Chain A
Amino acid sequence: MNESVKMSDDTQNAVDLEAEFRSSNVQEVLDKLDRELVGLVPVKTRIREVAALLLVDRLRRQFELTSQTPTLHMCFTGNPGTGKTTVAMRMGQILKRLGYVREGHLVTVTRDDLVGQYIGHTAPKTKEVIKKAMGGVLFIDEAYYLYKPENERDYGAESIEILLQVMENNRDDLVVILAGYKDKMDRFFQSNPGMRSRIAHHVDFPDYQPEELLAIAELMLADQNYHFSPNAREAFTRYLKLRMTLEHFANARSVRNALDRARLRQANRLFGRRTSPITRDDLMTLDAEDILASRVFQEGQLDQVPAR
């Protein structure tokens, strides 16, 4: 008898995780993330985990199970063009939906914005940036430049010190995301162990596979109301394979540049036949020749490099 009373009491007190999940609209953000960001499995998994933790935390608070606010400072490492900034931008929105930050805006800074030029200049400068980022996300791009071990009089260390203090004391007010290339960030953390231990999430952005890059290219084109003709898609697949073997390959950024150049060639092509009527579809279609004209095909050389 007693047992059953206790049981029903417990189910009455139970809360609906599903309802909480739906009311937070997180699914919408996660879906959008899935739709608009190709690949990046480890990153998406981590975001999902963070979302789950924050939701569960919110439920725990309903039962007055207190726990400390989790640290959400993050470090994004990866090669150029793997989507670090894009994800950081999304991070602000996601954390806002989950009620972790109040405003969810992103403040992007580099060394120049944090480190001053003379004694006593750094602290106010860093503090000003921090104040601007409060309630949102502070994104420090190429964070390893903050610390220059070869110059012991460099003011970067002072900036790091202030950042560390804020990351510890104002955890409720802002989330700091550091970003940079893997090897350089590793060296940065080696010389700043305090920084490493204050960052809970180290997320590595993998390089994209060729088919992922093609999907990214098609998303980018769709955004600008363009599309590939079937031949052009095939040509672009070949282009990607060649381009990936060349130097200075910057993943999605290279794709965007290649598409921009293809748009130039398409415009030129259309201009060349301006006597004949041009349809709406013509204006939207990138053809194989727009892509095959790239110097990557002809000489195995980058487009930017002037021909000798």
Chain B
Amino acid sequence: MMTNHGNRLTQGQFSFLPDLTDEQITKQIKYALNHGWAVSIEYTDDPHPRNTYWEMFGMPMFDLKDPAGILMEVNSCRKTFPNHYVRVTAFSSARGTESPAMSYIVNRPAKEPGFGLVRQESEGRMIRYTVHSYATDKAENERY
């Protein structure tokens, strides 16, 4: 039974919702900036849940006051990688947190093949399970 129609990747915030519009993204960025978090843009074509570190698109943006500059970068990343996953991450440097405080996907490939479950039989009758992204069967940059 298929529980996730269209195999939409559900990672980070808002991923069960329809794609955010630019206006909504702007408001989310504004929220991060109001908290003094450094916003950065990352992309990848390997959406495995354990693939924590995506490629950075430019430097993290410090000392910004207005979301327009970040939205500009988001759009230029979408233009460069129209068929990659792109996410916006807000890093909180507050002591004790020092980690991303927000992270949400702002661009996804037109067709997302989703994940398959690989079963491996091992000693005894034990079964090991692996989550495998269909997209990664192909070489990098040819996946979507």
Contact = CB atoms under 8 A, between A and B. Distances in A.
A105 B65 contact: yes
A173 B66 contact: yes
Interface in B80-97: none
A184 interface: no
A131 B63 CA distance: 9
Interface in A90-105: 102-103, 105
Interface residues of B, number: 13
A136 B33 CA distance: 15
B69 interface: yes
A136 to B, nearest CB: 6
Interface in B52-101: 58-59, 61, 63-70, 72-73
Contacts of A135: 65-68
Interface size range on A against B: 10 to 19
Interface in B22-78: 58-59, 61, 63-70, 72-73
A132 B68 contact: no
A132 B58 contact: no
A135 B70 CA distance: 12
Secondary structure dominating the interface of A: loop
A134 interface: yes
A132 B68 CA distance: 10
A173 B66 CA distance: 9
Interface in A147-178: 170, 172-174
A192 B73 CA distance: 27
B66 A136 contact: yes
A136 B68 CA distance: 11
A169 to B, nearest CB: 9
Given A132-B69, A134-B69, A124 B64 contact: no
B137 to A, nearest CB: 35
A173 B70 CA distance: 12
A105 B65 CA distance: 8
A26 B59 CA distance: 38
B65 A103 contact: yes
B68 A173 contact: yes
Nearest to B66: A135
B58 A134 contact: no
A116 B64 CA distance: 20
Contact of B64 (A102, A134, A170, A172): A134
Nearest to B62: A132
A221 interface: no
Nearest to B63: A132
Interface string A182-198: 00000000000000000
Given A134-B72, A170-B68, 4 more contacts: A102-B66, A124-B59, A128-B59, A170-B72
